[in-house]
Amino acid sequence: MSEVVFTDKNFQDEALKAKGLVMVDFFATWCGPCKMMAPIVERLSEAYKGKVKIGKIDVDENPEVSGKHEIQSIPTTIFFKDGEMVEKLVGFQSEEALKIKIESLL
């Protein structure tokens, strides 16, 4: 597993202080579409290893980060570039849609 597990404690260092592109999947264990996206996030983290930091954060266990980024529905995918939010996608995203988004942001 090359995906990062983000938490309230490590989010600042792992996502916001990271150089380059970071993709964060906001999810919950009970969320159906989130479960469908999990293997996609895993495959993308392998495919873009060394180019993009890709990981997920459980909204139930990490209310601070979820609140700060106004996560109201899940899954939500947020892209950060050099610590700045550059894109926010709400709802299930296909692997193809995420690849296109990553390529456009790289």
Which domains, from first to last, does the chain contain?
Answer: 4-105 (3.40.30.10)
The amino acid at 105: L
Tokens of 78: 């947020």
Query: Which amino acids are annotated catalytic?
Result: 31, 34
Give pLDDT tens digits for 29-44: 999 999 999 999 999 9
Extract the residue ranges of the chain whose pLDDT is less than 70. Answer: 1
Bond into 63 cis (ω within 30): no
Q: What is the predicted pLDDT for the residue at 1?
A: 60
Residues ≥6 apart with Cβ < 8 Å to 82: 18, 19, 20
Confidence (pLDDT) at 2: 77
CA atoms of 104 and 57, how far apart (whole Å): 23
Residue 61: the pLDDT is 98
65's tokens: 């980060």
